[in-house]
């Protein structure tokens, strides 16, 4: 609401027109508020991706997956693994002690560093973990575990 102020005599000794109306500044200045909000928005946009820490998951692609270009490399673990500590690397028997070195030799010429592990049902989980550790030492990046479908024999 405007204020009404009385006027004093004008510099020439004459009285002015009467009263002068002045407006008070009762509005919020929006420009600095918008500037501050934009700066805060930029700060949050930059810092939000840095704050996200989650579990990394390789999500499968559901449509149009590509076939494996190279031939598959299988590591077979028979039930007799407990006795002789041998696995079959592409139909060749290999002791678990030299499995990492043998994998390094095979993977030197291959671009695809993926191996498929086929283990007998009688092999324990700890024994499979030992084999997985040896494969990772040998430079294998991805290990797939092969299983049968429920109706297969």
What are φ and ψ of residue 112, in 5° steps?
Answer: -80, 115
pLDDT at 43: 93
Give me the tens of pLDDT residue by residue for the chain, a chain 153 residues long: 556 666 556 565 555 565 666 666 677 788 889 999 999 999 999 888 877 654 443 434 444 444 445 577 888 888 888 888 888 887 788 999 999 999 999 888 887 778 888 888 778 888 889 999 999 998 888 888 776 666 555
- Domain segments of the chain: what residues? 74-145
CATH, range 74-145? 3.30.420
89, containing H or E segment? strand 86-89
Helix (H, G, I), strand (E, B) or coil at 151: coil
- In the chain, % helix, strand, coil (3-state, to 5) comes to 35, 20, 50
pLDDT at 59: 38
Other Cβ atoms less than 10 A from the Cβ of 131: the count is 19
pLDDT at 12: 59
pLDDT at 82: 86
pLDDT at 118: 82
pLDDT at 56: 45
């Amino acid at each position: 609401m405007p204020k009404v102020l009385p006027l004093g005599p004008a510099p020439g000794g004459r009285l002015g027109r009467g009263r002068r109306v002045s407006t008070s500044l009762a509005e919020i200045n929006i420009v600095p508020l918008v500037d501050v909000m934009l700066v805060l928005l930029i700060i949050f946009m930059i810092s939000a991706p840095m704050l996200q820490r989650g579990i990394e998951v390789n999500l499968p692609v559901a449509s149009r997956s590509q076939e494996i270009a190279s031939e598959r490399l299988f590591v077979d673990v028979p039930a007799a693994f407990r006795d002789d500590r041998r696995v079959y690397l592409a139909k060749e028997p290999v002791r678990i002690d030299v499995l990492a070195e043998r994998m390094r030799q095979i993977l030197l010429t291959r671009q695809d560093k993926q191996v498929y592990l086929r283990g007998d049902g009688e092999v324990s989980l700890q024994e499979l973990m030992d084999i997985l550790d040896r494969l990772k030492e040998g430079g294998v990046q991805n290990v797939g575990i092969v299983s049968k479908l429920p109706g297969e024999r």
